[in-house]
Structure 1
Amino acid sequence: MIPVNTPLLDGNEKKYLIECIETGWISSEGPFVKRFEEQFAQTVQRRHGVACANGSGALDIAVAAVGIGAGDEVIMPTFTIISPAASVVRAGGTPVLVDSDPVTWNMDVAQIEAKITPKTKAILVVHIYGLPVDMDPILDVANRHGLTVIEDAAEMHGQSYRGRPCGSFGVVSIFSFYPNKHVTCGEGGMVVCDDDQLAERCRGLRNLCFQRERRFVHEELGWNYRMTNMQAAVGLAQLENLPKHVLRKREIGKRYQDQLRDLSSVQLPLSQTDYAENIYWVFGLVCNEDSAIDRSTVTSRLGEKKIGTRPFFWPMHLQPVFQNMGLFEGESYPVAERLGKQGFYVPSGLGLSDHDIRCVSTELKNIIADR
C-alpha cells in the first residue's frame, strides 16, 4: 500500500517527547509550547504566535478575535476545506463566495471587489494546495475599502509570496499542523499576528477567556483550544527540519511533473507563477471534462493497485449543510465545480520514496492509456 500521506519524523521528535515525559510537563503549561510559538512566529516573520489544538480552532479564534459577528459579510473562496466558512457562520457572519482561478486553483482575486457591500468586514484568503493566492491585489482592495484580511496559510509552511513568508500578510493568519502538513504535531494549529492586543485576545479565546485576577469568573465565552507540551515538542522538532521538508516536497513535485507531463487527459499543477514556486503541499490532478477518463475511474483503479488518493475539496456553495441553512441559493461557480468534481491528489507525503513516485506514475499512465 502506498498511502496518500506518510509523515517524516526523523528529527528530534523522540528526544523532545522523552523530555516531556521525564519532566512531567505534558499539559499546555509545558515549556515547549512557548518555544514553539516563538520560533514559529519568527519563521513567518510575525511578532506573536498562539499555539492551539488544531487549524480549525485557530480559524475560530482568528475570526472571533477580529470581531466578525452577526450581519458581517466575509469574502472567501468557495473552493476550500469547510473550516473557514464554518468559522464565519458560527460567528454569526455570512460567507460571500468567489470562484477559483482555473490555472492556480486559488481564489480568483479579480472577482473580489465586485462582491463588496456595506456589510463586508473582511476578506478571508485561503492558499490552496501549494501555490499562494496573489496577495498584492487583495491587499490593495482591502486597504482601499478598509477591510480586514484574515489569512489561512494552513497548507503553506515554508512557502513565500514575492519573497515574503505566507502567514505574514493577514491582520491575523493561521496555520495547521495536521499529519499531512510540512510541520506536524499530529494535530495542532497556530494563530500569528503582530498586534500585541490582538495576540492577547487570541490567547484568551484559546483558554476559555480566563481572567488574570479572577480565573474562574468569565465575562465572555472562549474555547479550550490549548496545545499540549507534547504536541509542541513534536512541532518544534518538525520546525527545525522545515527547510529540508520544503526541499523534499519540491523534489517530489518535480519528479511527478517529469513523469506525468505527457498526460493530455489531466491538468497538472502549475509549477510556478511570477510570484511563487509551487511548494506541492499535495500533488493534485484534474481530469479534463472532455476526456474519456473521469476522477472516479482513475481513483478506483489506483485503489485496486493499493495506491491512496483523496478527492479535491467540495465547494462551499454545494455543501448540504450550508444549503440547508439557505445559504448560496442559486449560486454557481463553474471553475470550483469542475475542480470539486474532477480533481484529486496522489500520494504526496514527506515519507514518500522515489520508488513510490515511479510506481504511482506508472500506474496512473497505464490507467489513462487504457481509456
Structure 2
Amino acid sequence: MSVYTGRSRGYSSSKGGAFAPQRQYGTSPSIEEPPKRDLLEGLLPGLLNNIGQPVASAVSVDIEDLQCIGSYNWVNNTKPTIIVPGSPPIWKNKSIPFRLQRDHEICYIDQNGHRLQTRSLLPLFRAVDIIAEDDADADIDWREVDIVTDRNGLRKLLRWIDSRGDGDRPREFRIDLQLAGENTVLMSRWEQATWAPPSQGFGFSFEEETTIPAPGCEKSTGHHRIVQYKFGGLNMVVRFEVDACLEALPTRTAGRVNVDDMISQLGGLSLSSTSTSSPSSTTSNTDVSIIRAGKIVPQSSILEMTTRSERNVESYDWKESYPQLYLSQTPHHFLAVHRSGMFNQIKKRNLEDREMKEIHAGIERSFRKLNTLLKTIQELVIGHGQRGRLSLVCKDGALKVHERKSQDSFLPDEVIRRFGL
C-alpha cells in the first residue's frame, strides 16, 4: 500500500465528521476513490451472537480521574515513524474575515490503520512507554485497564445505540476485538478504506490557515493523544486526534530535533534495530520508529475545529458532535462560519458552558447505555478467552458478533505480556 504525505485533519465536507482523516499535499482533486474492503473480510461464516440494545446504567457514568498518559505525531516516512510526545498545531488567533480556497488534498480516514494496518494500536503503547520512561508518575498498570480503544469506536457504538430502527439506521461499521490478560479488551479500528479523495469543504484549509506547527513537529501528519479515565466503573484508555491547542505550555517536554535529519537517519535503519532513547535521539521499536521531540500540552488547551456554511450552521447537529468532545474531554470547540469560503465568524464553546451542559443532559442517557454496552462486550470477549478473535459488525441496523479467521494478535508478544497471564 502506498503511503501519502500529509497533515492530520477531520473528515467530512466541512470537517468534524465521523472519521479522522489526515491532510495530503501535492495531489489532484480528480483522484478516484480507493477500493473498499468487504465489511466481512477475514471473518468466519455465520455469526456468534446478536447484541441487543443496552439498558441505561442506573448509576452516573461521568468521566472521572482523567490524565494524559501519552501523545505522538505521525510523520511521513517509508517506515512507520512517530514523534513522541509530539505536539498539536498551535492556534494563532487569525483575525477575521478572510477567504479560503476549497480543500484539495487527499485525506486519511484512519492514519494509524493506513500506516500499520493490523497493528494500528501499537503506536499508542510505544508513546505511553516513552512518556513513562521520562516520568515515573505517568506509569500505568495495564492489568487494571478494562478497555483500550480509539474514540472513534465509542462514537460508532453510540450512533448504533441512538438509531431508531429501519428508518434511521446507523452507518455500517466494524470493530475488531481481542482479550489481553484476564480482563482487558483491545478494540481495534477497522475501516473499509483508510483514505479518501479531497472533499468539497473548507475544513482542511481553515486549519492550515489558522494554526502553526509546534516546534519540532513541522513535518507532522497528525497529532494523537492518549488519555486514561474512569467511566462508570470502567478503566478506559482512549486514543483520539487533536486538531490544535490554544497554548504551547508544556507539562512534559522532549528535546528539539531536526526532523528532516532524523527521517534521513531512519531511512537507513531496519525496523528491528534500536538506538539510545535520550532526548533528541531516534529509536526503532518493532514496527514503529521513534523521534523524540515536541511537548505534551495541558488537557485544558486542546481544541476541536469545525467549519460550516452560514446556510446550515443553525442546524449543526450537537447530538452527533458533542460525544466527540465529551469522550476525549476536549474542552474547546470552534465552529467557523463561512459564505462560499469567506470566513466571517468563529463560534467558540467550552465543555463547561451552560449551553454545553444542556446538550449533555439531553444525551446523558445514551452515555449510560454505552457504559452498559461496553460491559457486555467485555463479558463476551472474556468468555472467548485468550485465543478468541471476535469482531463487532453493524450491518442493516443490527450489531452482530463474528469470529475472525486469523489468530494474529493486534500487538507483539512483549506488549501483550504487560497485561498478565
Shared fold per TM-score greater than 0.5: no
TM-score, scaled to structure 2 = 0.21
Higher relative contact order (CA 8 A, sep 6+): 2
TM-score, scaled to structure 1 = 0.23
